[in-house]
Structure 1
Amino acid sequence: YRMDLKDPLVAVYAEFFPRLFRPLEEMPEDLRAHLRYPKDLFKYQAMLYRSYHMQDVQTFYNQEDLWEIPNEIYSGQAQMMEPYYIIVKLPGEKREEFLLMVPFTPARKDNMIGWLAARCDGASYGDLLVYMLPKDRLIFGPMQIEARIDQQPEISSRLTLWGQRGSEVIRGNLLVIPIERSFLYVEPIYLQARQEPEIPAFPGGGLPTEDWSRPPRRDIRSAAIPELKQVIVAFAGQVIMRDTFEEALFDLFDPDAGSGALSPEPAARRVPIAPSGSDLRSAAEMAAEAEAHYQRVRTSLQQWDWAGAGEEMEALENTIKTLRKALEEEKTN
């Protein structure tokens, strides 16, 4: 299906294969609902925009306001952050939508300066939006959040301990999630059994001979399956690590949960909160509901059900707002 009828390359191919290409309008609706903006194209556009966001000629000539795509810590190594798909509500919009996004930082600095998003839903498919962040405010970029994680003694010691027990600690992709006028940072922690490669077996035992041509045995480490161990969540200067996203979300917005970066031992009993209005659920129940919505978002994305994922993401955001409001009211009372 042709997205752009004026594309010269596709026009040439269409002359040779007239039955192969069709206008986008002929695509069935059930397929159009699953369209995603291509990540490779978006990555190149983001790379170019690092320089071409500058509109002043002199500023562009002197390269005075260069941006960078920030690094993140993935599997123990610093690497350039990959664009990621996410469902959020854009500023000024009424509902959540499916986006492909990546943040920007100023050149040679780690604070976040803006973010680029590609829309994937309906008539807005293909629209690129850039959100500029105020320069007079320090908004943490991905590497600053990674540094804050490393600076938490409880978290860093726990990760080091796991790494010394025969497990490989894998820090997953850091997600920067815009929520209204703030950002929520989420990073999963995985553990994978560290297995040493087997020593190749030689014919007849002993050292290999000149006629030995048997290939070495395959490294079986690839068979190990990473297991989600903890979830690190950062918001408004707080960095905590909990067993589940539900616990992290609850303790992040609970003023009585304490400032500990790790899960309390034993787990503290959740105190019911009665917010004003008709919503009399406890904070623990709302946190559990948020976790359920989050899991359904992941399931919908795995099944390529963007509409269902959007509905669950909207419900998740509403639950977070209700939980936050309830906890703030409890704190004032």
Structure 2
Amino acid sequence: GDLGKYEQQIYYGEKTEQYSIVGGPQKELDYEEDGEKTTSYQGNSGVSLSNAFNRAAYAVAFSEPQILYSGAIGDGSRILYNRTPKERVEAVAPWLTIDGDAYPAVVNHRIQWVVDAYTTTNGYPYASRTTLGDTTADSLTTNQRAVVAQQNQVNYIRNSVKATVDAYDGTVKLYEWDTKDPVLKTWRKAFPGTVQPRADIPQQLMDHLRYPQDLFKVQRELLTRYHVTNPAQFYSGSDAWQVPDDPTNKESGAVPPYYLSIKMPDQPAQKFSLTTTFTPKGRPDLGAFMAVDADAASKDYGTIRLLRVTTTVKGPGQVQSELNGNDDVAEFVRNLKGTDSDIEYGNLLTVPLEGGFLYIEPVYTRGGTQNYPLLRKVAASYGSKTVFENSLGEALNSVFGVTGPGTTQPPAETTRPPGTTQPPATGDAALKKAIADAQKAYAEGEAALKKQDWTAYGKAQADLQDALQRAAAAQPKPGSTSDAGNSGKADKSSGAGDG
């Protein structure tokens, strides 16, 4: 969790869309602490404005006469443009299609933007075409997060290249990721030396690489139709799925995929995964849950696991509707009226749990002079029950039916003869013990997060997942009086998800 000493100044970033003139006579404000601290750009990127000809050329190019006349520009001044990570990678390798979501990592004491890049074509034989812009759009898509070349029609896409852009000097490096892609091999022959071999990826960078979102969105869109193996069902569309709309976003759009650490039914432990949900076409209930192993260091990286729901389980839209109609929510909203705050729903997360699905959603208020979101409530839904409480611990207590104060103490252990072990708690005792463990793990995770102790935070998250699994296992089984038709069962299937 300790980032160590690294270059913190960012001259190339996701929002640096304007040109910038740096260095030279004009010092830059770095930060304020006991007075202003200034700095001056020392990188070699950009174009020098030390001579009058360059200054005149860029004054014309950017329609800004002050570039030619300003006394703040002189020896050592440089003009930087094409400053977003996606722009720079596309300029270096225009034959690649760029993923919409670049993400930063500290690698060798520098901030590096990691950009996923694809080799694509629309001429692959006997393959279905899709439009990248339509397929990769969701409720979070903005100009900043949109895939480059949105109108491209493709029927072949592989995440063949991982690129990095240095946040300080804009240096672009391309690394081979898919060593078997024939399209990338052809481009490397056309532009030798442009793409470095996969073996050259630094370990510090490898530790941060993850499965790309836009590729996952293309795969999930195709799986809405191509999960069907019966020809009659395929052509009739009777078993088709759809990616549900995001119920938490007023502007609507498809629900975005979420990175979660989850344990799928066939896995022994949690995995860093990219996840999504499906609903049957034209219906709001849950149809399937899909996750791909997103950790580049994992031997199962790129493996897609698909859970098919075989009983009636509420979909994301239904859960949000129940939450909106909840009496506690209505009272909460009424209390906000007349104040300078608005309610704002966080991400509605779906977690497979013991044959059912647990939904978790934070609820924020935003307003006042600061206008930043503050966590106020947490909603949870499992089986037929939807609750709205003050914290995650209270929400889990309520949704799993544990009564009592906010902190539930595990049942007292009885004394046993030496050499024997305590049998596992069962029934209500097991449920209370699991909820208490979940609350303890959550509190430990929050404490570790404040200290930026990521090892302890990871352990706490694993403990929380284990406790939730035990809590769900202690619930009445699907088909009982209290949960009939709501807990849900899932069949699983898996397949390679490399492209």
Q: Could you say which TM-score interval applies, normalised by the shorter chain?
A: 0.7 to 0.9
Task: Find out whether 1:295 has 2:446 as its counterpart.
Answer: yes
Task: Find out whether 1:145 has 2:303 as its counterpart.
Answer: no
Report the secondary structure of 1:115's partner residue. Answer: strand
Task: Find out whether 1:158 has 2:312 as its counterpart.
Answer: no
Q: 1:29 maps to what in 2?
A: 203
Aligned pairs, number: 286
Q: 1:238 maps to what in 2?
A: 385
TM-score scaled to structure 1, two decimals?
A: 0.74
Alpha carbons 1:289, 1:319 under 8 Å: kept: no
Shift of 1:116: 1.6
Q: 1:296–1:2: structure 2 CA closer, same or farther, 3 Å change rule?
A: farther
Alpha carbons 2:284, 2:314 under 8 Å: kept: yes
Instruction: Give per-residue Cα distances to partners, 1:42-83, cap 9 Å, x unaligned.
Output: 111111211122222222222222111112322445432100
AA aligned opposite 2:468: I
Q: C-alpha distance in 2, partners of 1:9/1:85?
A: 29
Alpha carbons 2:387, 2:395 under 8 Å: kept: yes
Q: 1:10–1:86: structure 2 CA closer, same or farther, 3 Å change rule?
A: same
Instruction: Give per-residue Cα distances to partners, 1:231-255, cap 9 Å, x unaligned.
Output: 1111122211222112222333343
Shift of 1:124: 1.1
Shift of 1:6: 3.2
Shift of 1:325: 7.5
Shift of 1:106: 0.3
Alpha carbons 1:168, 1:194 under 8 Å: kept: no
AA aligned opposite 2:206: R
Match of 2:293 among 95, 119, 123: 119
Q: 1:61–1:253: structure 2 CA closer, same or farther, 3 Å change rule?
A: closer
Report the secondary structure of 1:170's partner residue. Answer: strand
Q: 1:126–1:256: structure 2 CA closer, same or farther, 3 Å change rule?
A: same
Q: C-alpha distance in 2, partners of 1:151/1:4?
A: 48
Q: 1:119–1:179: structure 2 CA closer, same or farther, 3 Å change rule?
A: same
Alpha carbons 1:88, 1:179 under 8 Å: kept: no
Q: C-alpha distance in 2, partners of 1:114/1:90?
A: 13
Q: 1:169 maps to what in 2?
A: 343
Task: Find out whether 1:53 has 2:227 as its counterpart.
Answer: yes
Instruction: Give per-residue Cα distances to partners, 1:250-269, cap 9 Å, x unaligned.
Output: 33334335xxxxxxxxxx46
Report the secondary structure of 2:285's partner residue. Answer: coil
Structure (1 or 2) with the greater helix fraction: 1
Q: C-alpha distance in 2, partners of 1:313/1:155?
A: 28
**TM alignment of 1:9-88, pairs within 5 A:** 9-88=183-262
Shift of 1:294: 4.7
Task: Find out whether 1:6 has 2:141 as its counterpart.
Answer: no
CA RMSD of aligned residues (A): 3.3
Q: 1:252 maps to what in 2?
A: 399
AA aligned opposite 1:274: P
Shift of 1:24: 3.0
Alpha carbons 2:243, 2:277 under 8 Å: kept: yes
Shift of 1:270: 4.7
Alpha carbons 2:357, 2:382 under 8 Å: kept: yes
Alpha carbons 1:250, 1:287 under 8 Å: kept: no
**TM alignment of 1:96-135, pairs within 5 A:** 96-121=270-295, 122-134=298-310
Q: 1:89 maps to what in 2?
A: 263
Shift of 1:194: 6.2
What 5-or-longer segments of structure 1 have no aligned partner?
196-222, 258-267, 329-333
AA aligned opposite 2:466: N
Report the secondary structure of 2:196's partner residue. Answer: coil
Moved more, 44-53 or 80-89: 44-53
Instruction: Give per-residue Cα distances to partners, 1:98-128, cap 9 Å, x unaligned.
Output: 1101011101101111122111231111112
**Matched-pair identity in %:** 25
Q: 1:240–1:319: structure 2 CA closer, same or farther, 3 Å change rule?
A: same
Q: C-alpha distance in 2, partners of 1:271/1:7?
A: 54
Q: C-alpha distance in 2, partners of 1:237/1:275?
A: 31
Q: C-alpha distance in 2, partners of 1:112/1:269?
A: 31
Q: 1:286 maps to what in 2?
A: 437
Task: Find out whether 1:274 has 2:422 as its counterpart.
Answer: no
Shift of 1:2: 1.8
Shift of 1:4: 1.6
Alpha carbons 2:438, 2:464 under 8 Å: kept: no
AA aligned opposite 1:165: T
AA aligned opposite 2:465: E
Q: 1:10–1:296: structure 2 CA closer, same or farther, 3 Å change rule?
A: farther
Moved more, 94-103 or 63-72: 63-72
Moved more, 308-317 or 77-86: 308-317
Structure (1 or 2) with the greater strand fraction: 2
Larger radius of gyration between Structure 1 and Structure 2:
2
AA aligned opposite 1:295: E
Q: 1:298–1:120: structure 2 CA closer, same or farther, 3 Å change rule?
A: farther
Report the secondary structure of 2:209's partner residue. Answer: coil
Instruction: Give per-residue Cα distances to partners, 1:192-242, cap 9 Å, x unaligned.
Output: 1167xxxxxxxxxxxxxxxxxxxxxxxxxxx62111111111112221122
Report the secondary structure of 1:228's partner residue. Answer: strand
AA aligned opposite 1:229: R
Alpha carbons 1:233, 1:240 under 8 Å: kept: yes
Q: 1:272–1:240: structure 2 CA closer, same or farther, 3 Å change rule?
A: same
Report the secondary structure of 2:381's partner residue. Answer: strand
Match of 2:461 among 313, 319, 327: 313
Report the secondary structure of 1:71's partner residue. Answer: coil
Q: C-alpha distance in 1, partners of 2:200/2:447?
A: 31
Q: C-alpha distance in 1, partners of 2:381/2:280?
A: 21
Shift of 1:181: 1.5
